[in-house]
A and B are shown apart, each in its own frame.
Chain A
Amino acid sequence: MFPLLSTILLFTLLFVLFAFLGKRKFAADIALLGAFVILIMALAGLLRFDFGASGFQMLEQYSWIPQMNISVILGIDGWSYPMVILTALLFFIGILISRFSVKDKQEYYYPIFLLLEFSVLGVFMSLDLFLFYIFWEIVLIFMFFLILIWGHENRKYASMKFLIYTHIGSLVMLLAIIAMYFQSGLHTFDIRALAEASYPLGFQYLAFFGMLFAFMIKMPIVPFHTWLPDAHVEAPTAGSIVLAGVLLKMGAYGLLRIPMTAFPDAAKDLAIFMAVLGFITIVYGAFVSLAQTNLKRMIAYSSVNHMGIVLLGIATLTPAGLNGANFEMFSHGLAAALLFALAGAIYDRLHTYEIGTMGGLAQIVPKLSWIFVIGSLGAMGLPGLAGFVAEFNVFIGSFQAFGAWTFLGLLGVVITAAYFLLTLQRAFFGPIPSIVPKIKDLIGAETHPHAILAVLLFVFGIFPFLLLSFLNSTTLAFISRL
């Protein structure tokens, strides 16, 4: 069998090298070509992917540090494959957009961006916890540099906050991983073997809490979310796209992949706890979004709100809830990426994120505005768009598991609709400011990335089985193990 996954990773590294060593003015083109090739390769996996199977596929295993029983194990299943595709897609989009917004130090920017792609892909592909941790950590480092060097005014503060917060989570996770290595008695980091092992209940609780803590910081879940708005507001546009689009999903994915799978007893006992945190995050995120005057900060808090929905879906432990959570990870990836891309486009034109200084943009830049409307409706969960399928499934699952408490989550959805509509009204449909800014609409190539994302929001909203066919068998296999 052709080793597709490792080829994808190696090609990413190869293009990093090309973009770094090539001529400065070609860095963007090389990176774009690289991201495109990776996207095609990621999609090529569809030809071989068995949608009915529940286990890991396209497995590859190479010995790495035999002295400590550490191997490079790569593989994907119905949960991780959509994330791999989403990663490849959003990094491609990110590079398309960076060509318009990143001007300085391009010869370093594109290699670092591709290195970030490499590490995120690695997180979703690796089945060895040591390897998983390594990818997880270097994602932080590259994102730190992306914010630090190409961020906005307050980047020094935001990049450090991002690094420290997420690093705390990583190290706690590392402790839990090492503890699993010894406690399982297997002396292996192979996720598949560790998931089959049995652990005493006390250990399950402890390790589950450690990992939950780590992943909650990453997702982020209230009260560990405070790094996110700062990081988003200061990050360059493409950085925000991938941060909201896939980096946050790493948290939810990690939660599903490791503690939920390996510690089923603790997962069942702590489901209520996670659900409470999910509800709090949904409602809190929505209310705080409502209060924002900075467009990017508003979208950032809406990400918090959506990750709350993901956590709620996971906590239901029902097929509908888990499918919905995974669907939400994908659809929010598209919607958030679109909104951040457009926020970046607005910033490039107006040099501000303040909603108060905008107004009547729909008349000045109609194309940009209407795509923003689509993105907002997608994030709100309007039927016909991808977000609806996700939230519908999550709340079905939530009704099955938690009954009437689900109305708390629905309240959050209502507020979400409120703040998006409010923002749309103030920034895009309000009166035109007295001094009409002389700005151009999206033209030519700049339209493409936004259009792709907007179309995909519709595609997955109208044909949800496209994504559900990936998720369902893995979800059912997961449920059956509980």
Chain B
Amino acid sequence: MIFVPEFLLVIAAVVLIFSKNVLKKDNWIPAAALAALGLAFFWRLGTVGQESSLGDFFVSNDFSWYFDLIYLGVAAAAVIFSFSISKDRNIFFSLMLIGTAGMMLLTKSRDILALFLSIELIALSLYSLVAFGKDERKLEAGIKYFILNVFASALLILGLGIVFVLTGATQFSEIGNNLTQQMALPLLAGIVFILAGLGFKMGIFPFNFWLPDVYEAAPIGITTLLAGASKKAAFGAVALLFVLGLGGLVPFWAGLFTLLAVATLLFGHLGAIWQSNFRRFLAYSIIGQSGFMMMGLAAPSVLGLTGLLFHILTHALAIIGIFAIMAFLEAKGIFEIHALDGLGKRSPFLAVALTIFLASLGGVPLLAGFVSKFVLLSAAISMGLVMLAVFAVLASIISIFFYFKIVRSMFAGKTQAKILEVPILTSIIVSISLILIFLLGIFPGQVIGFLSQTINYIII
């Protein structure tokens, strides 16, 4: 039963690809992709608490359940944002489904090989998706993404190879058993290579330089998928590999994560200040948010990992909401931040919603983003990482500055432009994310409890 949702997605993808040979029309394809994702989502929703495994390769439990729901939710939103794609729809949407299936496999993997295969599956589908379209800039972004990712994959396999050579095992749990303190130093090389390889996918400093360009040029649905799902999958993989496999050497690598967290926090947040294009701005802010997620790995206690998982969810929700609004605004020709001036008059609903999403990212209380940041800060302080917490606070202040600069221009900026009619689909997606962000912000107890239980699956 473990792979039912993945099978569903792959079968749907195959059907979509070959449908072109049978049917002339293709306007049903996005809906079919959405239906497949929806079906997988609800199937997975019903399997909470169930555990199953495929040998020692893949294990499905509540940990992967949580991630699967996030991937499927984000992918469904991404499919909706891509309705306007008109050429080669069958390929586009089937690749999205395959990429999503790859992510679902990634956070189930318990073996170096499984991990690597899943990552490549994701990458293969995203390479072509990023470059989709005729625009030359997209092609450039696609090539950039492709080359850097191939490079990252090479580093990753090198790093994984070092771990294998030293420990003589491919399974995470066996790697954990075979670890000895003497391996620490040679393992450092492996850890650095793995971090470099996965760091590209996570979008952390200093492996994030592709990110703004690609986020800006890719189709909006794909940017959503990159920011909301594939990046989270990479974090899930790192949590699995490092906590489950290399958990015996926590003091050894946690310091490295602390440094990377601080650097990522500062780079992303300082970079975002200067952006004028909305997508590039978001790209930098997303890099900054990765810094917060890194905090969870830098303080890998139950609290820290809970914070990491929770932040992944709250961030994905905000991303879905913001990109829904952006997809609509881009269709109206709004790409730059200054074009948001007076949005409060043009569409009060969108302006208020965007304010709440940005405030949640900035960590304003009663919104989901605050609680996850709070848990992460608590984790850092409880582990004595006070300086990390101070840097996180510093980053948070900077982020409030640039998020509320946008809020300010929406409500106090002047505009002559006419009122915007918001399509019903956009309203629905935005409303769902809004409701969830408030729910998780005001009543986070259940989720925090669930997550701290779930962490037991990866902490031995």
Chain A interface (Cβ < 8 Å from any Cβ of B) = 64-68, 133-134, 137-138, 141, 144-145, 148-149, 155-156, 159-160, 163-164, 167-168, 171-172, 174-175, 178-179, 181-182
Provide the residues of chain A in CB contact with B408, threshold 8 Å: 148, 156, 159-160
* Neighbour of A175 across the interface among B359, B377, B411, CB < 8 A: B377
* Neighbour of A149 across the interface among B359, B404, B411, CB < 8 A: B411
Q: Give Cα distance in the complex from A145 to B377, angstroms.
A: 27
Q: Give Cα distance in the complex from A363 to B364, angstroms.
A: 50
Residue B396 CB within 8 A of the other chain: yes
Residue contact B365 to A148, C-beta cutoff 8 Å: no
Q: How many Cβ-Cβ contacts under 8 Å join chain A to chain B?
A: 75
Annotate B359-381 by CB proximity to A: 1 below 8 A, 0 otherwise.
Answer: 10000111000100011011001
Residue contact B400 to A164, C-beta cutoff 8 Å: yes
Q: Give Cα distance in the complex from A175 to B396, angstroms.
A: 12
Q: Give Cα distance in the complex from A90 to B445, angstroms.
A: 35
* Neighbour of A182 across the interface among B381, B390, B444, CB < 8 A: B381
Query: Shortest CB–CB separation between residue B356 and chain A, in angstroms?
Result: 11
Residue B18 CB within 8 A of the other chain: no
Provide the residues of chain B in CB contact with A172, threshold 8 Å: 393
Provide 22 A-B residue pairs closer than 8 Å at the C-beta atoms, listed in order of the A residue.
Answer: A65-B444, A65-B445, A68-B448, A134-B365, A138-B366, A141-B359, A144-B404, A148-B411, A149-B411, A156-B412, A159-B408, A159-B412, A160-B408, A163-B400, A163-B404, A171-B393, A171-B397, A174-B374, A175-B377, A175-B381, A181-B378, A182-B378
Q: Give Cα distance in the complex from A434 to B386, angstroms.
A: 64
Provide the residues of chain B in CB contact with A175, threshold 8 Å: 377, 381, 386, 389-390, 393
Q: Give Cα distance in the complex from A251 to B348, angstroms.
A: 33
Provide the residues of chain B in CB contact with A174, threshold 8 Å: 374, 377, 393
* Neighbour of B397 across the interface among A149, A160, A164, CB < 8 A: A164
Residue B275 CB within 8 A of the other chain: no
Closest B residue, CB atoms, query A164: B401
Q: Give Cα distance in the complex from A66 to B449, angstroms.
A: 9
Residue contact B381 to A178, C-beta cutoff 8 Å: yes
Provide the residues of chain A in CB contact with B404, threshold 8 Å: 144, 160, 163
Residue contact A134 to B366, C-beta cutoff 8 Å: yes
Q: Give Cα distance in the complex from A159 to B404, angstroms.
A: 10
Query: Shortest CB–CB separation between residue B145 and chain A, in angstroms?
Result: 35
Residue contact B397 to A167, C-beta cutoff 8 Å: yes
Residue contact B364 to A138, C-beta cutoff 8 Å: yes
Residue contact B396 to A171, C-beta cutoff 8 Å: yes
Annotate B401-417 by CB proximity to A: 1 below 8 A, 0 otherwise.
Answer: 10011001001100000
13 additional contacts (CB under 8 A) given A134-B366, A182-B378? A68-B378, A134-B370, A137-B365, A148-B411, A148-B412, A156-B412, A160-B404, A160-B408, A175-B377, A175-B393, A178-B381, A182-B381, A182-B382
Closest A residue, CB atoms, query B384: A182
Query: Shortest CB–CB separation between residue A10 and chain B, in angstroms?
Result: 14
Provide the residues of chain B in CB contact with A155, threshold 8 Å: 412
Secondary structure at chain B's binding surface: helix, strand, loop or mixed? Answer: helix
Query: Shortest CB–CB separation between residue A52 and chain B, in angstroms?
Result: 36
Closest A residue, CB atoms, query B453: A67
Q: Which of B386-444 contact A (CB under 8 A)?
A: 386, 389-390, 393, 396-397, 400-401, 404-405, 408, 411-412, 443-444
Q: Give Cα distance in the complex from A160 to B404, angstroms.
A: 8
In the A-B complex, the 5 residue pairs with the smallest Cβ-Cβ separation, listed nearest first, are A134-B365, A65-B445, A67-B449, A171-B393, A67-B448
Residue contact A178 to B400, C-beta cutoff 8 Å: no
Provide the residues of chain A in CB contact with B381, threshold 8 Å: 175, 178-179, 182
Residue B452 CB within 8 A of the other chain: yes
Provide the residues of chain A in CB contact with B382, threshold 8 Å: 182
Residue contact A168 to B397, C-beta cutoff 8 Å: yes
Provide the residues of chain A in CB contact with B443, threshold 8 Å: 65
Residue contact B365 to A138, C-beta cutoff 8 Å: yes
Closest A residue, CB atoms, query B442: A64
Provide the residues of chain A in CB contact with B377, threshold 8 Å: 174-175, 178
Query: Shortest CB–CB separation between residue B211 and chain A, in angstroms?
Result: 26
Residue contact B364 to A137, C-beta cutoff 8 Å: yes
Residue contact B445 to A67, C-beta cutoff 8 Å: yes
Closest B residue, CB atoms, query A65: B445
Residue contact A145 to B444, C-beta cutoff 8 Å: no
Q: Give Cα distance in the complex from A134 to B444, angstroms.
A: 14
Q: Give Cα distance in the complex from A137 to B373, angstroms.
A: 14
Closest B residue, CB atoms, query A151: B412
Q: Give Cα distance in the complex from A163 to B452, angstroms.
A: 34
Query: Shortest CB–CB separation between residue A111 and chain B, in angstroms?
Result: 12
Provide the residues of chain A in CB contact with B366, threshold 8 Å: 134, 138
Residue contact A167 to B400, C-beta cutoff 8 Å: yes
Provide the residues of chain B in CB contact with A138, threshold 8 Å: 364-366
Provide the residues of chain B in CB contact with A160, threshold 8 Å: 401, 404-405, 408
Q: Give Cα distance in the complex from A171 to B362, angstroms.
A: 12
Query: Shortest CB–CB separation between residue B154 and chain A, in angstroms?
Result: 41
Provide the residues of chain B in CB contact with A144, threshold 8 Å: 404
Closest B residue, CB atoms, query A155: B412
Q: Give Cα distance in the complex from A138 to B441, angstroms.
A: 13
A67 and B452 in contact, given A167-B400, A168-B397, A171-B393 (Cβ under 8 angstroms):
yes
Query: Shortest CB–CB separation between residue B148 and chain A, in angstroms?
Result: 35
Closest B residue, CB atoms, query A167: B400
Q: Give Cα distance in the complex from A178 to B378, angstroms.
A: 6
